[in-house]
Amino acid sequence: MHPNPAFRTASPGDNLDFARARGFGLLSINGADGPMAAHVPFRLSGDGSNAELHLMRANPIARALAADGPAPALIAVSGPDGYISPDWYGDPAQVPTWNYAAVHLRGRLELLPDADLPGVLARLTAAFEDRLAPGKRPWTMDKVPDEALARMQRMICPLRLCVDHVDGTWKLSQNKPDHARLAAASQVGGSIGQELATLARLMGGDSPQK
């Protein structure tokens, strides 16, 4: 996380809401030969105390947990990001930078019993399918033939991250004068990055969860 406190003023609730709404992040643990990472969808519980997910059994993280037990872990959740040209501030004393939003969920990652897998999959699927309503009828696990479902479930394992720390960085040029920040916000939509319209809105002063 960025060390500047100006970029770390979001409330714990805003950080959790951001992670919950994204529902996708980079899972990482330390392995015997160095860091291991996997890109995963997850479902964050209502109180933010845990995140449910699944991995292929052949994934190195899953294998490490099976061999060594629970491990300290991080899910890094990224949001909008973009390059900021110093010209946009209207101040020759500025230099290039990159603005972004990100939340880190830290805690203990553990394998769950195989018997928990159907419930984890059902809850994870519902968390995303429900967002497609009312335009789409929710897809449910019972639409998959039993034999095909059993075959696929043999290939994956359920996991839970027990969250003990949440931290967020919202780097939105808050350390600049308002006129400079707003001037940059008006230009960032044509920049280089991801979800630039959302980044511009956040730089303009909207709440992270508007």
| Residue 208, pLDDT above cutoff 90 | no
pLDDT at residue 166, rounded to an integer: 97
Average pLDDT, the chain: 96
Domains of the chain and any CATH numbers: 5-114+157-194 (2.30.110.10)
Cβ pair 123, 111 in contact under 8 A: no
Model pLDDT for residues 38-89, shown as the tens digit of each residue: 999 999 999 999 999 999 999 999 999 999 999 999 999 999 999 999 999 9
C-beta neighbour count of 196 within 10 angstroms: 19
One-character DSSP codes across 45-113: -TTSSEEEEEEETTSHHHHHHHHH--EEEEEEEEEEEEEE-GGGGT-TT---EEEEEEEEEEEEEEEPP
Q: Give CA–CA dist 137/196, Å, rounded.
A: 31
